[in-house]
Chains A and B, each alone.
Chain A
Amino acid sequence: EPEVTQTPSHQVTQMGQEVILRCVPISNHLYFYWYRQILGQKVEFLVSFYNNEISEKSEIFDDQFSVERPDGSNFTLKIRSTKLEDSAMYFCASSEPGEETQYFGPGTRLLVL
């Protein structure tokens, strides 16, 4: 069964550094999402992406965040200048057109020191 994959599984970075989190959505899916979960807190929506543009974003998704679909398979989340409070588990998800169900990746645990 096809799955959403994410790399890396863990990333440690210094405050102020840029990080890129990568996701490979399920191949026939056209809607892509990023969520984050700070340790001990709820899953929070960051952004949704469709047709090569952001369709919706939350108040968390400020100017230091960006998303991109650089090729036909990858979907990336870039954090330009990481802060300590960006430490979290980041989940990617994808869904088919006309289908509400989102399929989640295993997550990337980001630790900002």
Chain B
Amino acid sequence: AQRVTQPEKLLSVFKGAPVELKCNYSYSGSPELFWYVQYSRQRLQLLLRHISRESIKGFTADLNKGETSFHLKKPFAQEEDSAMYYCALHNDMRFGAGTRLTVKP
């Protein structure tokens, strides 16, 4: 079955600490993976996608086909990064369950 797994529902780190939000996927073809973010009381919005290999707001995500992962990383978390983060496999429109990141002062 094609699916997206985000194993952590909640993740809490201190400001300035590194953060990694895990995403594993299962897909038989070439995956098109995205990270979406939803800040408190705001709409879901694109954070980044694997194909562009960009860094947005200090976040990066590398597609690792061997481990079937697309983990989201930031070396120094900021309080404003607190939000819900969703990994999504666009090939069949599947979202992970989401990880709520809290960055404590």
Q: Does B62 contact A (CB under 8 A)?
A: no
The 9 closest A-B pairs by CB, nearest first: A45-B93, A43-B95, A104-B44, A42-B97, A106-B43, A104-B43, A101-B46, A42-B95, A100-B90
With A45-B95, A104-B45 known, 14 other A-B pairs at CB within 8 A are A35-B93, A42-B96, A43-B95, A43-B98, A44-B95, A56-B93, A91-B43, A100-B32, A101-B34, A101-B46, A103-B46, A104-B36, A106-B43, A107-B43
In the complex, whether A41 has a CB less than 8 A from a CB of chain B is yes
Query: Are B94 and A101 touching (Cβ within 8 A)?
Result: no
Size bracket of the B interface = 20 to 34
Q: Interface on B for A, CB 8 Å cutoff?
A: 32, 34, 36, 42-46, 49, 51, 86, 88, 90, 92-98
B-contact 0/1 string along A28-39, CB 8 Å cutoff: 000001010000
A83 to B81, CA, bound (A): 36
Contacts from A to B (Cβ < 8 Å) = 3-4, 33, 35, 41-45, 48, 56, 58, 91, 100-107
CA distance A87 to B34 in the complex (A): 27
Q: Closest A-chain residue to B45, C-beta based?
A: A104
Output the least CB separation between A104 and chain B (Å).
4
Give the docked Cα–Cα distance between A91 and B93 (Å).
13
The closest CB in chain B to the CB of A107 belongs to B43
A45 lies within 8 A of B94 (CB): yes
Residues of A within 8 A of B44 (CB): 43, 91, 104, 107
How far is A45 from B71 in the complex, measured between Cα atoms in Å?
22
- Interfacial chain A residues near B34, Cβ < 8 Å: 100-101
B49 & A100 in contact (Cβ 8 Å cutoff): yes
- Given the complex, which residues of B lie within 8 Å of A48, measured CB to CB? 93
| Residues of chain A within 8 A of B94, CB atoms compared | 45
Residue contact B49 to A101, C-beta cutoff 8 Å: yes
